[in-house]
Amino acid sequence: MGTSVAYHLARRGITDVVLVERAPRLGMGSTGRNAGGVRHQFSHEANVRLSIESIRLFEHFAEEVGTEIDFHQDGYLFLLSSEEHVERFRQSVAMQRRLGVEVDWLTPPEAQRLAPGLRADGVIAATFCSRDGIADPHGVTQGFARAARAAGIEICRHTEVLNISVQAGRVVSVETSAGTIRTPVVVNAAGPWARRIGQMVGLDIPVLPYRRHIFIARPMGEISHPEATTVWDVPDSHIMVIDFETTFYFHREGPGILFGMSDPDESPGFDTTVNWAFLEKVIPVAVRRLPALAHAGVQRAWAGLYEVTPDAMPIIGPAPHIEGFFMINGFSGHGFQHSPAAGRILADLICGRSPGMDITPFAYDRFLKGEGESEIQVV
């Protein structure tokens, strides 16, 4: 989010900007730990609009921003196993189509044809959008950063924000581990740590960190042998398959499979060590949907943090009553893919331009008013 805002400010001619990152490298927070998934298929219209704009930029990233991002548009396949979910998706698909997104309804056998090796027992319907896909989060972050730097924006790594001074209701400076920066504008792009930055200006930002795991499996034993007669029965393409009922998802990653699932027993916290006991809960679900995983070994695993708001919708825009303080937080597990549009919108707001779309679903004050519609297609 930080590099996207910087890039879009630079495009608007605003280069008197410092991006402050406490880590030694960019993208060591949530961005460096995500699954790279990019999709149009959301239930909230505002999210679909963010996707349409963001995917357009991902498709032309090399020409427009100057970096390759390994974007494979092999589609997202949602598997639905209850009438209730089918009904909810019916409404989402109708809205997505109204916005011009091509989404198809598939039968379970059609879904299996798209994702060889998939077992579809209990699945009653599936949705598929062929322009959804997987991209490289590192490439996107570095692409935005390089282009912003080339335009004159400064990026300070190893630099932690310690405090923010507000005088007479206005932001005046940021105290960092490398000194004080006087500025009338501050953007909070601290991902799962957004609430801590908000506390510095006396604002409660309702973003909670939740640990999420990713596992990489490789074929084992006989099927990993070059002359094996048993095949590793998994998709060849990078199609992303999501079992909506269990939240189990997978996609091809090199010769292996990347998979994950949300853990309903996880409490908020900043711990990102791998909880191997959780893998025990994932395996039965994983093997049921993709039986080839029974012949696989988990080669790698890592955990990162989702940055979750109460309605799973992001906060993009100014803070009420603190002039100059802006937020781009709380993307609830889909921030990588929405970073192009979200950064563009925030840059427009900072410049006093119209964001060109209805941004009330992203306003901070929805929490004060108790308003707002939740995003339900979150995994």
Ligand X SMILES: Cc1cc2nc3c(=O)[nH]c(=O)nc-3n(C[C@H](O)[C@H](O)[C@H](O)COP(=O)(O)OP(=O)(O)OC[C@H]3O[C@@H](n4cnc5c(N)ncnc54)[C@H](O)[C@@H]3O)c2cc1C
Positions that interact with ligand X (CB under 6 A): 1-2, 20-23, 28-31, 33-37, 160-161, 189-193, 212, 214, 260, 304-307, 331, 333-337
Q: Which is nearer to ligand X, 325 or 336 (CB)?
A: 336
**Residue 127 phi, psi dihedral angles, 5° rounding:** -120, 150
Q: How far is the CB of 328 from ligand X (least distance, A)?
A: 7
Q: Say which residues have a Cβ less than 8 Å from residue 265's Cβ, sequence separation at least 6.
A: none
Mapping DSSP onto H, E and C, the string for 27-60 reads CCCHHHHCCCEECCCCCCHHHHHHHHHHHHHHHC
Q: Which is nearer to ligand X, 29 or 372 (CB)?
A: 29
Q: Write the CA distances from 42 to 129, 212, 332, integer angstroms.
A: 11, 20, 12
User: Considering the complex, what minimum distance in angstroms separates the CB of residue 330 from ligand X?
Assistant: 8
Least Cβ distance, residue 38 to ligand X (angstroms): 7
Nearest approach in angstroms of CB 372 to ligand X is 19
Task: Name the token pair of 267.
Answer: 């409490």
State whether residue 238 is helix, strand or coil.
coil
Of the pair 49, 334, the CB lying nearest ligand X is at: 334
Q: With respect to ligand X, which residue has the nearer C-beta, 28 or 124?
A: 28
| Smallest distance, ligand X to C-beta of residue 309, A | 11
Taking the complex as a whole, how short is the minimal distance between the CB of residue 189 and ligand X, in angstroms? 5
- Nearer to ligand X by Cβ, of 162 and 294: the residue is 162
Q: For residue 169, what are its two tokens? A: 């209701």
**CB nearer to ligand X: pick between 108 and 246:** 246
Q: Do 159 and 21 meet the contact criterion of CB atoms below 8 Å apart?
A: yes
Give the residue with the Cβ less far from ligand X, 92 or 309: 309
Structure tokens at 205: 């930002």
**C-alpha distance across the termini of the chain, in Å:** 20
Q: How far is the CB of 365 from ligand X (least distance, A)?
A: 20
**Alpha-carbon span 34 to 267, nearest angstrom:** 19
Q: Are strands 240-243 and 208-219 parallel, antiparallel or unpaired?
A: unpaired
H helix runs in the chain, sequence order: 2-11, 45-59, 61-64, 83-98, 108-114, 137-150, 194-200, 276-289, 335-350, 366-369
Measuring CA to CA, which residue among 63, 55, 66, 213 is closest to residue 134?
55
Tokens of 226: 């070059």
Q: Which is nearer to ligand X, 212 or 366 (CB)?
A: 212
Cβ atoms within 10 A of the Cβ of 35, count? 21
- β-partners of residue 184 are none
CB of 29 to ligand X, least distance (A): 2
For residue 243, the minimal CB distance to ligand X (Å) is 15
C-beta of residue 79 within 8 angstroms of C-beta of residue 111: yes
Considering beta carbons, is residue 12 or 270 the nearer one to ligand X? 270
